[in-house]
Structures are given as C-alpha cells and as structure tokens.
Structure 1
Amino acid sequence: MRERHDAVVAGNRQADSCTAIETAAGEVVHEMAGDMADLPGALQSAALLRVADCLLLPGREEHFLEVQRRVWAPGMAAAGGMLAGAVTRLGTHRYLVTTLWSGCAAHERYAARHLPSLHSRAAVGDDLRSVTGHVLPLEPAWRVLPAV
C-alpha cells in the first residue's frame, strides 16, 4: 500500500467517489478450492470478487461452518468459474465468505443455475441474522501480488 496506493488513488480520482471505508481483519477458518487450488493462484487471474458479509444468530457458528464445508464450497466449485475462496471469522457472530471468479458470466451462471438449490440445502434462515452481498469487478492494474 505504501508504494502504490497514493498513485492509484490519484490516478482514478477515488477521493471523488468514496465517502467512507471500513476495514476489518480476521482469521481464515476455511479455504475453498475451485478451478484453482488456492487463493494466491486465483488472485493472479480473477476478474470478479464476491463477498458475503454474514451476521449469524447466536449459537449457529458450528452449523454455519459445517454448511460452508459440505454444501457451499463443493456446490460453488462444481458450478465452474469459481477459482477459490475463503471463510474468514471477523468476530463471534460475523463471517466474510469471499470467492474469486473467472468473470461475470461464470458468476451469473452460478447464481441462476446453482444458487437456488444450494440456498435451500443450506437452510440459510436457520443460521443468519443478516447477510449483505457484494459483487465487485477486479481491476487488473490494481493487483498487488506477492513477489515470487
């Protein structure tokens, strides 16, 4: 961030469009393989980031994580185009589920063909107080990848 952030912000006039930002750090509790084995590899070519900010009902953490492992991760991987993902614990009842996708078309196919049945099998209403989702296109020029 120290080397590239200011130049990116100045170059895209980000200050004109952002009014607030929130950051959080957490522990990755589950990694999801997709078309690629891991997140670092997926970051090299991902075109889309899907984020689900999940606020759980009390006492539902264990079930929520089990459903991520047994329903969501294999279901998304089978859809094609999901490169990799992670479930991150941000607090006692808050988790981020992030997935990297090959592109908008792959994510749209997944949402139309696979999401409804996965949603039903996962019994989402049993675990979640709320969920906020975001689908974000990734700008290749903004990639900051570790040196190999």
Structure 2
Amino acid sequence: MTIAKLIMCEVDDGKQEAFSQSQSAWSQVSTCNGFVGQAGGWEASSSTAIILGFWESQFHVSEFMSTTHDEIYLNNKQQSTYRHCSVNYFELISTILGSEIDFSGAGVLRIAYCSRVLDIDRFNRDQQLLWNPQLSTQPGLLGGHVWRHIEHHDCYLVVTHWESPAAHEIYANNVLPKLRKIAHTSEYIEQLLGKVVVLDTKWNVTPYNG
C-alpha cells in the first residue's frame, strides 16, 4: 500500500532561503528502496513549508527512517531553520484523476485536511459520487489522490495538483463553494483545513533509475 508522508514546518522569519537550501539536500532519498517521489513548497498564506513524500509501503518508510534519514537531516542542518515540525503518515485509498503520483508540470498543490470525520461512509460516498467526478473535469487539474491516516482512521487528506495558480484559483473561487454547499461537509467533518502550496521545483525528488 502506497504511503504518503506529510511534513509541515513552521519556518522562522528570515530563514526561508536557508530552509529551502537545506530542503534541496533531500534529493539523496532518490536512491532509497521503495521511494516513489517527493514534492513540496510554501503554503500560499504563511511561512509554512509543506512537503509530501511517497513510498511503496510502510516497510520502506521505516527502513529509510532507521538508516538514511538521520544522516541527511544532520548534514543539511535543517533543524536550525524552523521552530516546529509535524510529520504524519497516510495510506492511499483512491485516486481522483490518473493513477500515477507525478508532480511534473504542477505549479500548485491543494491539500484538504479532513480531521475527525464523523461519518466515514458518507465521506467516502461523497468523495466518489460528488468530489471526484467534479474535480476530474476541472481545467488545469493534473491529478489527485485520497489518503487515510494510518493511525487515526477518521482523518483524511485529499491532495490535488494543478498546472498553475490561475487554474486552481478558478476552481477555488467558482466551483469549490458550490460543491461544499451540496455536500454539507460541516455536518460530518469537524475540522476541514484547505492548504494551498506553491510548489518549488528545487524540492522535487524523483526515484533514481540509473
């Protein structure tokens, strides 16, 4: 089962460039067993860095964390550039458009972080019958996936990637409000946070195939 690792770092003012340089050093994960890809950037409305890493299985993530991770982390000195970091793991449960996890050509990532989903059956039904079909028709949408927290099964991520900020803005302004009214998400999702991430191509990592 494919695993997504969501990393969110609150970066100190004036240290964004240092963080970005350190983040580029994570390209070394490209040679790790089971690595699928990585993308990230800055949240549009804050100095929070958001990175998503993808792995073939929880076994491969654990192997990476127990071997290569600490060496990269200590060498790039990234720990001195942020004041707080959270890490969460999710498993893939469905796709919205396309089956591959591929962020090439994407300019913006949208993350809908759904916490404390009170009616999981309704969430899944709405996702399959309402959100996925509507999203699949949006101009500029390159792909998307739905993920469930590996420990907290009432917590989900809906991740979509868009070719440009303009394409995402059209969806966010013209389509998203209508879909929320139809779905009545507040009736069964206690907390829904939408995060818009402007991707930094220097943070992209693809598996090494040499």
Into which bin does the TM-score normalised by the smaller protein fall? 0.7 to 0.9
Q: Which runs of 4+ in 1 moved over 6 A?
A: none
Task: State whether structure 2 residue 152 is matched by structure 1 residue 94.
Answer: no
How far off its partner does 1:56 sit? 3.0
Query: What 5-or-longer segments of structure 1 have no aligned partner?
Result: none
How far off its partner does 1:2 sit? 7.2
- 1:39/1:85 contact within 8 Å kept: no
Select the residue among 20, 28, 41 that pairs with 1:3.
Answer: 28
- 1:52/1:98 contact within 8 Å kept: yes
Select the residue among 61, 64, 70 that pairs with 2:120.
Answer: 61
Task: State whether structure 2 residue 185 is matched by structure 1 residue 124.
Answer: yes
Counterpart residue identity of residue 21, structure 1: C
- 2:96/2:135 contact within 8 Å kept: no
Distance 1:2 1:47 in 2: 19
Q: Report which stretch shifted further, 102-111 or 73-82.
A: 73-82
Counterpart residue identity of residue 3, structure 1: Q
Which structure is larger by alpha-carbon Rg, 1 or 2? Answer: 2
- 2:106/2:162 contact within 8 Å kept: yes
Q: Match of 1:114, SS?
A: helix
Distance 2:96 2:161 in 1: 10
Q: Match of 1:65, SS?
A: helix
Structure-2 residue corresponding to 1:52: 112
Distance 2:199 2:106 in 1: 7
How far off its partner does 1:146 sit? 2.2
How far off its partner does 1:14 sit? 8.1
- 1:44/1:145 contact within 8 Å kept: no
Task: State whether structure 2 residue 22 is matched by structure 1 residue 22.
Answer: no
Query: What 5-or-longer segments of structure 2 have no aligned partner?
Result: 1-25, 30-71
| Percent of matched pairs sharing the same residue | 27
Structure-1 residue corresponding to 2:56: none
TM-score (norm 2): 0.60
Alignment root-mean-square deviation, CA: 2.4
Select the residue among 197, 203, 208 that pairs with 1:136.
Answer: 197
Q: Match of 2:87, SS?
A: coil
Distance 2:117 2:205 in 1: 35
